Structure 1
Amino acid sequence: MTPTSSHVPFATQLSNVYLSILALFCFKLFVKISLNLLTYFYIVRGNRKEAARISAEFYDYGQNHTFLKGHNVNVLTIDHVTPLHEACLGDHVACARALIDAGANVNASTIDGVTPLFNACTVGSMACTEILLENGAKPQSLVYQPSPIHEATSKGHYGCVEALVTWGADVDMEIPHLGTALYTACVCQKLECARKLLREGANVQKGKSLDSPLHVAAEKDCTAVVTLLLDFGADINARNTEFLRPVDVAPPSSITEGFLLLYEATPRLLSQVCRQCIRNCVGRDRLHLLSHLPLPNRLRSYLQYQ
């Protein structure tokens, strides 16, 4: 004879209830994780409409679109990569904007210290870079974390460098294994990025330890960068950790070596010395005010290296 529920011990009945609740919870959790991953996939692919459709259809959030608000937009992979990281890496500007509007953390960091801003600078997405900065992204990373300005400079993404500097990135920040952003520009021979950094007041002598930007530019036999650095007052007699001058590290019989030897024997123009003296007196933090000085346009442009 089959026992009725009244003959089943109360503890057993209670246990069955708990097991049913646990099973239901696990099922709902599985569904939620699956939908999050599906939406994450569409965000990575740049399909914001499909992501929104999933949230409205399966979560029944209607016109509020709260699926794209709060913690959901900050869902993490095992490496702490967020949808905003992927949107910026793929240069999906509309997706990045939607995620930020929904509350995505613009300063989210992966386990390697990579931020969405760093990803935007990696691919040269000026639009994503500006959106992030306008919404509170920190333009400056910590010393031992991947640096957006170094990344943008190494890839020659001038627009990203300009945006970072405008929003307060330190042009003289030195990373132990990379040096300054200017040093990185010289290593990678990115002339326009180096010019931008120097115009914004980057220290022409500060490189990597005692190795100056001029040292590495000479070693790379990049005469254009060497000329630029000398125009901004680089010390041709500076010595590195091996007590060598820039001309000593230039490839023998190279164009750069010949140029440096000629430069050593040629007196500097008084106009160049005066320009550097004025810029030094103005100071890096006030160089942007040069354009407002009541001076002839030609003189004002000269002071700004334009």
Structure 2
Amino acid sequence: MGIKHSISWFEWKPSQRGKSSNNYLHKISPKYNHNWTELHYAASHGSLSKLKEVLNSQGTSDINRKDYYGKTPLYWAAYKGHAECIEELLDNGAEVNSQCKHGATPLHAVSGLYPHCTLLLIKKGADVDKEDKWGVTPMYIAACNGQVECINLLVSAGANFTYRNRKTGFLPKQLTEHKEYLDWLKNQSQTPRPLKELCRKVIRKNLGHEHLDAVVTFDVPSSLHAYILLEELKIP
């Protein structure tokens, strides 16, 4: 008899002890790729050609399908740092802020490892302040991994300064190695954000990632189009 559990799977198996006919509960952990679709496999392996093939033949009905852990193909492309697959999925309607069972988004998955993927997701409308179920933000993950480039991108996109442990107030050990940078970060966190930056953040949030492309149709100067779309964000 199979019993499904929120964290792992269990199944009853006959006892191997002596001649007892009693059953015991045998714990079986699900495979990490449980409930994967073809898009999950293609995205995780970074196979852009396969990804396009599946999208062309099957359409986008599974593009936001979640696996056992609530992770979409986009999450796995992000987790593995496959920028081309991330872009292809987003261009075909993938939900950039989809959360897994633990509340993590694709931006959480990249911010500790992949600056280029972090930049791509931010420009495509990822919520820079999204918290998982433990209150962890992409910036805190970047801080815990000493990913200064990712923190810079998040700060430039208007993220709140959440680089300290929210419970203890301590700095992640990996970040303490960057003393001069920490001084700069502290100064930035104590300086009021420019009004135009606050307005941009509100505009982008209200538009939602689905409508960011519509910005170019706004009857405003092209320089404002570029500002709203974060075109000045780059990796040195």
What secondary structure, in the 3-state scheme, does the structure 1 residue paired with 2:171 have?
A: helix
Between the aligned partners of 1:253 and 1:119, the Cα distance in structure 2 is 37
From 261, 268, 289, the counterpart of 2:193: 268
Counterpart secondary structure, 1:299: helix
Q: Which has the higher contact order (CA 8 A, sep 6+)?
A: 2
Task: Measure how far apart 1:231 and its partner are.
Answer: 1.7
Secondary structure in structure 2 of the residue aligned to 1:248: coil
Question: What are the ranges of 5 or more consecutive residues in structure 2 without an aligned counterpart?
Answer: 1-31, 232-236
- Aligned-pair CA distance for 1:160: 0.8
Q: Shift of residue 271 of structure 1?
A: 2.6
Percent sequence identity over aligned pairs: 26
What corresponds to 1:116 in structure 2? 38
| Aligned residue among 84, 108, 126 for 2:48 | 126
Using the alignment, how far apart are the partners of 1:177 and 1:142 within structure 2? Answer: 13
* TM-score scaled by length of structure 1: 0.56
Query: Are 1:159 and 2:159 matched, yes or no?
Result: no
Identify the residue that residue 193 of structure 1 maps to in structure 2.
Answer: 117
Give the alignment's TM-score, normalised by structure 2: 0.71
Change in 2 beyond 3 A, CA 1:208/1:281: closer
Q: Give the total of aligned pairs.
A: 194
Give the structure 1 partner of residue 171 of structure 2. Answer: 248
Match of 1:176 in 2: 101
Cα offset for 1:131? 2.1
Match of 1:202 among 126, 142, 151: 126
CA 1:272–1:117: 2 relative to 1, 3 Å? same
Distance 1:119 1:233 in 2: 34
Q: CA RMSD in A?
A: 2.6
Alignment pair present for 1:233 and 2:155: no
- Where do residues 34-49 of structure 1 align in structure 2 (5 Å cutoff)? none
Distance 1:280 1:112 in 2: 33
SS at match of 1:287: helix
Q: Which AA in structure 2 matches 1:227? A: N
Aligned match of 1:286: 211
What is the CA–CA distance in structure 1 between the aligned matches of 2:115 and 2:64, rounded to whole Å?
22
Answer yes or no: is the 8 Å Cα contact 1:182–1:207 preserved in 2.
no
- What does residue 221 of structure 2 align with? 296
Once the two structures are TM-superposed, the CA of residue 303 in structure 1 deviates from its matched residue by 0.9
Structure 1 residue 243, shift from structure 2 partner: 1.7
Query: Contact 2:34 / 2:68 at 8 angstroms: preserved in 1?
Result: no
CA distance in structure 2 between the aligned counterparts of 1:111 and 1:191, rounded to whole angstroms: 25
- Structure with greater proportional helix content: 1
Deviation for aligned residue 1:111 = 7.9
Q: Deviations over 1:248-289 (max 9, x none)?
A: 335324245333212123332233122213223333332121
Q: Which structure is larger by alpha-carbon Rg, 1 or 2?
A: 1
Separation of aligned partners in 1, 2:145 and 2:162 = 18
| Aligned residue number for residue 16 of structure 1 | none
CA distance in 2, matches of 1:239, 1:219: 9
Distance 1:177 1:283 in 2: 22
Quick one: distance in 2 between partners of 1:152 and 1:286? 23
Q: Runs (4+) of structure 1 moved beyond 4 Å?
A: 237-240
Structure with the larger strand share: 2
